[in-house]
Amino acid sequence: MTLQEIKEGSVLLIDKPSRWSSFDLVKKVSLLARPKKVGHAGTLDPLATGLMIILTGSKTKEMLQLNAGEKEYTGTFFIGATTESHDLERPVDATFPTEHITDELIYEIAKSFVGEFAQTPPLHSAKKRDGVRYYKMARRGEEFQRIKSWVELKVFEITRIALPEVDFRIVCSKGFYVRSLAHDFGQKLLSGAHIIALRRIRSGEFNVKDAYTIESFTEFVLKEKENYQNESLSQHQ
């Protein structure tokens, strides 16, 4: 891949750092590579890390198609406390007992989530109601009814239990909110839960192991610009 190809139309895989919004990443690519258009095939929560598919130029037309594939995540639930955002974006708003929770119960509840079901999005999400994002209404303290979406959880694997932490790996459909899974998982345990770590490993056929980091992508673009300048100078000598 060359810088010119990025300008004209490319699919870029980038490993998003924590505390970067999806918009931050799109803006960074736009400022570095200067393509005519930039977009992404699937947002990622600011505190989450992992794979984002960035589309440039003519490839932005494939946004919906590339976002349609299943997603794979790894992460950690914190059991015994909830937050309004279902992650660490908001402070703990309630605590719950955990003494009754056994490893067997955790495995049993995880198994019960596998399949298709209607999921309620988090208050703090990019979903829209009457054209307004949920998170904007939530920040203003407005009360509103959230619309459930039909989703599928294909794999729900518990990989470590060290209460209050529970590590997991999931494979899910497009539009699935892992933060909502954390909240609902806590409720089914007759407790509470929120996400303290989340990483997207895969989206469709694309894997984070093949992705640029912000640093390596920046280095690549700067090197491409340097090579272009050197070629231009040699042609004029």
What positions carry a catalytic annotation? 45
What count of residues does the chain have? 237
Q: Could you give the CA distance from residue 181 to residue 191 in angstroms, rounded to a whole number? A: 14
Residues 6+ apart with CB under 8 A from 79: 98, 101, 163, 164, 165, 166, 186, 189, 191, 192, 193
Considering only CA atoms, which of 200, 176, 203, 202 is closest in space to residue 65?
Answer: 203
Question: Is 164:196 a contact under the CB 8 Å cutoff?
Answer: no
Q: Could you give the CA distance from residue 75 to residue 197 in angstroms, rounded to a whole number? A: 5
Structure tokens at 234: 């040699």
Structure tokens at 231: 């070629």
Residue type, 150: W
**β-bridge pairing 206-207 and 193-203:** antiparallel
First to last CA, the chain: 27
Question: Is 177:123 a contact under the CB 8 Å cutoff?
Answer: no
Q: Could you give the CA distance from residue 97 to residue 84 in angstroms, rounded to a whole number? A: 18
Structure tokens at 87: 């992650």
**β-bridge pairing 165-172 and 132-133:** unpaired
